Structure 1
Amino acid sequence: MNIPNFLYPITHLDLCYLGFSKPADCFYQLSPEVLTQYAVEYGEGSLTDQQVLSVDTGKFTGRSPKDRFLVKDETTSELVWWNDVNIPFTKDAFDRLRLQMADYLSRRPFFVRDAAVCADPAYRLSLRIITETAYQSLFAYNLFMEPDQEIRPVPEWTIIAAPGFRADPEEDHTRQANFSIIDFSQKMILIGGTGYTGEIKKAVFSVLNFLLPQVGVLPMHCAANVGKDGNSAIFFGLSGTGKTTLSADPERKLIGDDEHGWSEEALFNFEGGCYAKTVNLSAEHEPQIFAAIRPGALLENVRCYPQTRTVNFNDISVTENTRVSYPTQFIANAVQPSIGRPPKHIFFLTADAFGVLPPVSRLSNAQARYYFLSGYTAKIAGTEFGINEPQATFSACFGKAFIPLHPTCYAELLEERIEKGGVQVWLINTGWTGGPYGTGERISLCFTRAIINAVMNGQLNQVSYNTLPLFNLMFPNHCPGVPDQLLNPAENWDDRDAYRFQASKLLRLFKANAKLNSGSHAELPI
């Protein structure tokens, strides 16, 4: 083993339960400072001018959904929603890969970190994250919570992540050399052939999405914050809809930016850190995230200005999915521990590139279920090769790629929580108005913030409402800080026939998606 000159491996950690043939020589529970030093000395990354570790994750700069598998056995066969993102894998093939990965890591330096997930002690799970690289261990330190004082010899869940280990698709029954596989019976996760740290994060999220509904907790892909009055709010939304931006409110405390559970008693964060996009990041528009990029944080796939170590957050030459991870204590107004009351308001965020939906709509409980199951946003021209006009994107429960159970399992829990708590649900369009993308204008962030504030202050409970044709959405006729004309999307189009054409087109897409998921046309509810 190649031992760095500034630390020594431990020799007493027993990993026999994973197939390691003897007590492992590994680096255990290293501090962020030491992990950063190791990563720099051994060529995993470099330091920026702010002394922040910056790494490239290699070929993969995002998740690979088609290479995610779940072991199909007596635990999962009847419960899992088997589809194009929940792909079955055999136990025998999983065990062969686990033993191969144990042998692979036994012949090189590797890192072990014990941690935990779920801020609510009633649902906390212990984790052990075994990684080939120091930067992956730093990511685990940033994203997950400190372990309980008494660490278990065998944790409840174990993750093995080795970017340098490549599967043989023909022998190992994977699609290609990279993979992410979850075994719910053995409580293990194998991740190989990819250095993208988001695979670790989302594998754990998938585990919680399987386990928690079975004990009456709703797992959610959402951000959450809490006001001075103690009232919580949650923000669902797919990438690019403003989930992180709108939850980062200087007047409210952050519970978490991405993954939460909602029990009958509380709203709680799953993680101990944040994993934020950094594309076009600036101190002016995202002051909290910008300030969190300091020693101990981890930057992924960014580039610096020429001949400097200063990060150029506008440079997307590697990927648009540039990222930073950091612990929640790097956010000045984060709630510690990250637990709040059940929410009073829920916001479904959608960037509607068709320019059809109102900036804000108040949803009935039936509509809340429908739009939750739809999980709608739109991709715009230019974001991906071959996209020349807006394309609707539907992701059930705003997180189809991470939900092992059928979407209705989560929708029923949401509906139950909404009814019991008297929660108000709002559909917020952070996309376009006055026309589709390319013709209309993007709704100003200042107007969206004014809408959110008016909801929180109860001001939208004191105004009259109108109904949007076709979609049956109730939108306010007035909102403080927002032009009245903006609230009615049809009023902002110069060509009313063009508006009706786009609205009918989007409606057909909603109905087609509902039919695909539910087996019926599932008309839009009133």
Structure 2
Amino acid sequence: MSKAFMLKPDLSYLNLNSELALYQLNVAQLVEEALMNGEGSLADNGALAVDTGKFTGRSPKDRFIVCDDTTRDVVWWGDVNIKFDECKFDTLFEKLTKHLSEGKYYVRDASACAEANYKTSVRVITETAYQNLFAHNLFLRPDESSLGDTPDWTIIASPSFLADPVTDGTRQANFSILNFKRKIILIGGTGYTGEIKKGIFSVLNLLLPCEQDTLSMHCSANVGKNGDTAIFFGLSGTGKTTLSADPERGLIGDDEHGWGDETVFNFEGGCYAKCIDLTQEKEPQIFNAIKFGALLENTNYFPETRRVDFSDIKKTENTRVAYPITFIDNAIIPSIARAPRNIFFLTADAFGILPPISKLDAGQAMFHFISGYTAKVAGTEAGVTEPQLTFSACFGKAFLPLHPTKYAELLGRKMKGNDVSVWLVNTGWSGGAYGVGERIKLDYTRSMISAALSGLLEEENFITDPVFGLRIPVSCPGVPSEILNPKNMWPDKQKYDARASELSIAFVNNFRQFEAFANDEMLAALPKVVENTI
């Protein structure tokens, strides 16, 4: 009999009754529990399909960090990291654990960080079986010898527990609260599992840079047959998942990584992929991973069937699937590789200004890392009908407890300590803005990335863009040379200059919030604002 069934974890440090805990259930047991509890249904592909209720995404305005002696002078307080009173946390904790103790609940011991030197043990206590299945899929699954040990961090998640904003200090009934002193994350009033995943990501985004000089990154990563590691940063709609899913390269991970002294390592043991318009032809790795053991969230079936209609977004555009990384054929296990040789910042520039690919020096890399630029277009998000500029610091502003310049400086130091090439890749428009120009062909982008990965692009001649200072290759195998310089593709060159000026001003204005903390290299990378000629 496995150790998981022989013991009950000691939950006295949480004032919870261990006898009520269903501990370390396997996948089949969790699925059985979820079905018995009425939490979801089995799709015809074998995956458990559930609805997460009112919330089908994270609620950033309801994410808090307890302000105490541990965090007061460290955290970047503001609209991302909202202060929460220490005493109110203690009271809310007692209320939530009492609520949870009224019935059965599910307990799972897991860990984060595939690299042993950085491993963080995590205990996830959930009200529902499907949340526990999510934790099984997304976190690293420990061997039985470590089960039952007191964890480094504990997450308690109860969708049915609603806070009282008047007495509990929350904004509304739902909440996600991080307490770095007690090493506890409380999640209530929401069934969206992404709050569990991003809670630990936020924790690591403080601990790893501060305690181990390790860069925490919101990125995907893969590795070639020769052991060359590549990292892909990019916001939604930039092609991060598509471009990093290369059958010729092993997948390290799709979302959260650390860059330590000598290695890049996955924080997670699974993937949490978007499902909107998913097809086997477009995303075969993700499509084929949806089978028994996977967890589908907020998808819909075709009428009178259990076949998932991935184009149906009546519940949300943020349909998701969670599965272990072992469901991907070319996954690297354990998810560790050498320090990166190439880093790609992906942006879908809907204004047609940025080049399809350009090389960045250290200062430019730090600047564009802090900027985290892309543009939302119609269909990317509800209510978006015209292109909208989007800046998200370090390509993950919502999860950064520290000031973004801290991460950028760490990136710069690691770049200089390793032979790393950093590339800005525009997967957006060319020859004009969205609605006028054309989307850069995926085949061209793949060719440019392949040329960068193989080292061929390093051998090309480069020209320098006069506004952004970007180094643009004059040619690239498999790509028409004329598209590499974006100005060439605009019929009206004066109009291009005017739009480039507008975009440069937007970059400069966005950077003002970081300027006081920026170093000289970052400041030198600011675009040159020229007079708008139209």
Query: Do these two structures clear the TM 0.5 threshold for a shared fold by scoring above it?
Result: yes
Counterpart secondary structure, 1:516: coil
Which residue matches 1:481?
478
**Residue 30 in structure 1 maps to residue 25 in structure 2:** yes
State the identity as a percent. 58
Q: Following the alignment from structure 1 to structure 2, what is the Cα–Cα distance between the partners of residues 10 and 90?
A: 39
Q: Deviation of residue 384 (structure 1)?
A: 4.2
Whether the 8 Å CA contact 1:224–1:256 is kept in 2: the answer is: yes
Q: Following the alignment from structure 2 to structure 1, what is the Cα–Cα distance between the partners of residues 183 and 22?
A: 23
Report the more deviating stretch, 496-505 or 392-401: 496-505
Which residue matches 2:243?
246
Which residue matches 1:398?
395
Which residue matches 2:164?
168
1:279-311 alpha-carbon deviations (Å, 9 max, x no partner): 111111111111111100000111111111111
Q: Following the alignment from structure 1 to structure 2, what is the Cα–Cα distance between the partners of residues 11 and 314?
A: 44
Whether the 8 Å CA contact 2:363–2:524 is kept in 1: the answer is: no
Uncovered stretches (5+) of structure 1, i.e. residues with no partner: 1-7
**Residue 184 in structure 1 maps to residue 180 in structure 2:** yes
Q: Deviation of residue 495 (structure 1)?
A: 2.1
Q: Following the alignment from structure 1 to structure 2, what is the Cα–Cα distance between the partners of residues 10 and 24?
A: 13
Which residue matches 1:150?
146
1:23-68 alpha-carbon deviations (Å, 9 max, x no partner): 3412111111111122122210111111210011111111110000
Which residue matches 2:343?
346
Aligned pairs for 1:127-526 (under 5 A) are 127-148=122-143, 149-214=145-210, 215-384=212-381, 387-519=384-516, 522=523, 524-525=525-526
Q: Following the alignment from structure 2 to structure 1, what is the Cα–Cα distance between the partners of residues 158 and 67?
A: 23
Q: Deviation of residue 474 (structure 1)?
A: 1.1
Counterpart secondary structure, 2:122: strand
TM-score by length of 2: 0.94
Question: Which aligned segments of 4 or more residues in structure 1 are displaced greater than 3 angstroms?
Answer: 8-13, 381-388, 519-526
1:327-347 alpha-carbon deviations (Å, 9 max, x no partner): 010000110100000000000
Whether the 8 Å CA contact 1:366–1:525 is kept in 2: the answer is: no
Whether the 8 Å CA contact 1:14–1:24 is kept in 2: the answer is: no
Whether the 8 Å CA contact 2:8–2:21 is kept in 1: the answer is: no
Q: What letter matches 1:508 in structure 2?
A: I
Q: How many residues align?
A: 518
Counterpart secondary structure, 1:340: strand
Q: What letter matches 1:328 in structure 2?
A: I
1:374-429 alpha-carbon deviations (Å, 9 max, x no partner): 11111114544554422111111111110101111111111011001020000001
Q: What letter matches 1:203 in structure 2?
A: G
Whether the 8 Å CA contact 2:431–2:486 is kept in 1: the answer is: yes
1:475-495 alpha-carbon deviations (Å, 9 max, x no partner): 111111111111111111222
**Residue 82 in structure 1 maps to residue 77 in structure 2:** yes
Q: Deviation of residue 522 (structure 1)?
A: 4.0
Q: Deviation of residue 471 (structure 1)?
A: 1.0
Q: Following the alignment from structure 1 to structure 2, what is the Cα–Cα distance between the partners of residues 23 and 291?
A: 38
Whether the 8 Å CA contact 2:271–2:325 is kept in 1: the answer is: yes
Report the more deviating stretch, 375-384 or 189-198: 375-384
**Residue 52 in structure 1 maps to residue 53 in structure 2:** no
Q: Following the alignment from structure 1 to structure 2, what is the Cα–Cα distance between the partners of residues 440 and 154?
A: 57
Q: Following the alignment from structure 1 to structure 2, what is the Cα–Cα distance between the partners of residues 468 and 390?
A: 23
Which residue matches 1:3?
none
Uncovered stretches (5+) of structure 2, i.e. residues with no partner: 528-534
Whether the 8 Å CA contact 1:9–1:26 is kept in 2: the answer is: no
Q: Following the alignment from structure 2 to structure 1, what is the Cα–Cα distance between the partners of residues 43 and 382?
A: 32
Q: Following the alignment from structure 1 to structure 2, what is the Cα–Cα distance between the partners of residues 205 and 305?
A: 35
Q: Deviation of residue 525 (structure 1)?
A: 4.7
Report the more deviating stretch, 358-367 or 141-150: 141-150
Q: Following the alignment from structure 2 to structure 1, what is the Cα–Cα distance between the partners of residues 8 and 411?
A: 46
Q: Following the alignment from structure 2 to structure 1, what is the Cα–Cα distance between the partners of residues 382 and 288?
A: 34
Counterpart secondary structure, 1:456: helix
Report the more deviating stretch, 484-493 or 343-352: 484-493
Q: 1:386 to 1:144 in 2, by over 3 A?
A: closer
Q: Following the alignment from structure 1 to structure 2, what is the Cα–Cα distance between the partners of residues 79 and 398?
A: 21
Q: What letter matches 1:146 in structure 2?
A: R
Whether the 8 Å CA contact 1:67–1:174 is kept in 2: the answer is: yes
1:60-92 alpha-carbon deviations (Å, 9 max, x no partner): 111110000000001000000001010000111
Q: Deviation of residue 516 (structure 1)?
A: 1.7
Whether the 8 Å CA contact 1:361–1:473 is kept in 2: the answer is: yes
Q: Following the alignment from structure 2 to structure 1, what is the Cα–Cα distance between the partners of residues 72 and 56?
A: 31
Counterpart secondary structure, 1:207: helix
Q: Following the alignment from structure 1 to structure 2, what is the Cα–Cα distance between the partners of residues 523 and 180?
A: 38
Q: Following the alignment from structure 2 to structure 1, what is the Cα–Cα distance between the partners of residues 18 and 312?
A: 45
Whether the 8 Å CA contact 2:20–2:103 is kept in 1: the answer is: no
Q: Following the alignment from structure 2 to structure 1, what is the Cα–Cα distance between the partners of residues 117 and 370?
A: 28
Whether the 8 Å CA contact 2:111–2:122 is kept in 1: the answer is: yes
Whether the 8 Å CA contact 2:111–2:120 is kept in 1: the answer is: yes
Whether the 8 Å CA contact 2:363–2:525 is kept in 1: the answer is: no
1:180-220 alpha-carbon deviations (Å, 9 max, x no partner): 00000100000000011000000000000010002111100
Whether the 8 Å CA contact 1:356–1:502 is kept in 2: the answer is: yes
Q: Following the alignment from structure 1 to structure 2, what is the Cα–Cα distance between the partners of residues 54 and 443?
A: 35
Whether the 8 Å CA contact 2:348–2:427 is kept in 1: the answer is: yes
Q: What letter matches 1:159 in structure 2?
A: I
Q: Following the alignment from structure 2 to structure 1, what is the Cα–Cα distance between the partners of residues 380 and 267?
A: 30
Counterpart secondary structure, 1:189: strand
Q: Following the alignment from structure 1 to structure 2, what is the Cα–Cα distance between the partners of residues 111 and 446?
A: 46
Which residue matches 1:111?
106
Counterpart secondary structure, 2:457: helix
Q: Deviation of residue 153 (structure 1)?
A: 3.7
Q: Deviation of residue 10 (structure 1)?
A: 8.7
Q: 1:158 to 1:143 in 2, by over 3 A?
A: same
Q: Deviation of residue 16 (structure 1)?
A: 1.7
Tell me the C-alpha RMSD between the 2 structures: 1.7
Q: Following the alignment from structure 1 to structure 2, what is the Cα–Cα distance between the partners of residues 12 and 211?
A: 29
